[in-house]
Amino acid sequence: MIRIEGLTKSYGATQALRGVSFEVPRGQVVGFLGPNGAGKSTTMKILAGFVTPTSGTARVNGIDVSVDSVASRRLIGYLPENNPLYEEMMVRDFLDFVAEVRGIPKGQRAERIRHAVDRCGLRSVLGKDIHQLSKGYRQRVGLAQAIVHDPDLLILDEPTTGLDPNQIVEIRSLIKELGKEKTVILSTHILSEVQSTCSRVLIINDGRLVADDAPERLGEGEGGTVTVVLASRTGALLQSDAVRSMLERVAGVTGVEPAEGEGLGTLGFRLRYGAEDIRRSLFEAAVNNGLCLLEVKRQHVSLEETFRKLTGGQGPHGPHEPRAPQRAA
């Protein structure tokens, strides 16, 4: 559905994109993640045919968007950042206007608008002026205008920014529903949005693509932590230092720190590991040392940590976001 090759874009001296390439097959819901100024909106604007690249190509269904933007725009529904709408228009009139501009034949307009209105849950506000609507409803109007011509591809630039938590949940589930029929590429600062909505995540930093994977696989191979609770198999009193040094010798363990136990006669530790899964050697070491494992809980490196690592330690909102305390290596 999308094929982007070697895309670069300069705004004067600012190089917004430095050679971005990726493909998106039909039917995928892709999250585009990156700190402020990474190049997300620029990529989306190029794809939507509103900005021309300095070099490289963006194709939608084989159509080069810079060569034939009229044809490519028919295939695309675009919700720009900040969702610009005609405030003084009634929702009904606005959608009618968009349908006309989109070139939907007069005989089909009512049916296409009805479909978009039902899909986006707008029936109750059709007679209201847009400026009277809540942010959540305005976003629904933005989505309705994006789907009114039944495009194959939806490009949504930060569709949940500025919404309250209830509205976020509503818009996310609407996007998920739309994603069942359409290819969707959405940009966001919200990491959990990617995890809950997208089957694939692209991370962009400083105009370059730095990751491309399923959200749940991104942290894989980077290690994480295993929290364990241990007890003696014989009832003997456990010596914390001795158990700790035994754990430090388990193959693949890169660090050990104390954690909560489960009461008398138990000890808890948090083990850090790298690429290797340590659970088998951990089990063997426990058995060989007369210990039983009451609890073993593994946690991969989170998407947030992976994001920080790939974007040079910046939070998803950019370099000015307060940073989480760095964990000891």
Ligand X SMILES: Nc1ncnc2c1ncn2[C@@H]1O[C@H](COP(=O)(O)OP(=O)(O)OP(=O)(O)O)[C@@H](O)[C@H]1O
Residues that bind ligand X (CB under 6 A): 11, 14, 16, 34, 36-42, 81
Q: Closer CB to ligand X, residue 47 or residue 178?
A: 47
Q: What is the CA radius of gyration of the chain?
A: 25
Minimum Å distance from CB 318 to ligand X? Answer: 7
Is 64 strand, coil or helix?
Answer: strand
Q: Closer CB to ligand X, residue 52 or residue 299?
A: 52
Residue 167 one-letter amino acid: Q
Please list the alpha-helical segments (H only) found in 155-190: 165-179
Minimum Å distance from CB 10 to ligand X? Answer: 9
Distance CA 36, CA 163 (A): 18
Residue length of the chain: 329
Minimum Å distance from CB 11 to ligand X? Answer: 3
Q: Which residues lie closer than 8 Å to 22 by C-beta, 6 or more apart? A: 2, 4, 202, 209, 212
Q: Closer CB to ligand X, residue 35 or residue 151?
A: 35
Minimum Å distance from CB 224 to ligand X? Answer: 28
Minimum Å distance from CB 158 to ligand X? Answer: 7
Minimum Å distance from CB 142 to ligand X? Answer: 16
Is 113 strand, coil or helix?
Answer: helix
Q: Closer CB to ligand X, residue 42 or residue 83?
A: 42
Is 126 strand, coil or helix?
Answer: coil
Residue 268 one-letter amino acid: G
Q: Closer CB to ligand X, residue 34 or residue 315?
A: 34
Residue 25 one-letter amino acid: P
Q: Closer CB to ligand X, residue 274 or residue 319?
A: 319
Minimum Å distance from CB 202 to ligand X? Answer: 12
* Token representation of residue 129: 């002026």
Q: Closer CB to ligand X, residue 95 or residue 163?
A: 163
Q: Are strands 266-273 and 63-64 parallel, antiparallel or unpaired?
A: unpaired
Q: Are 276 and 240 in contact (CB under 8 A)?
A: no
C-alpha distance across the termini of the chain, in Å: 42
DSSP code for 22: E
Q: Closer CB to ligand X, residue 98 or residue 303?
A: 303
Minimum Å distance from CB 255 to ligand X? Answer: 34
Distance CA 329, CA 176 (A): 38
Calculate the CA 307 to chain-centre distance.
10
Closest residue by Cα to residue 148 from 183, 185, 176, 110? 110
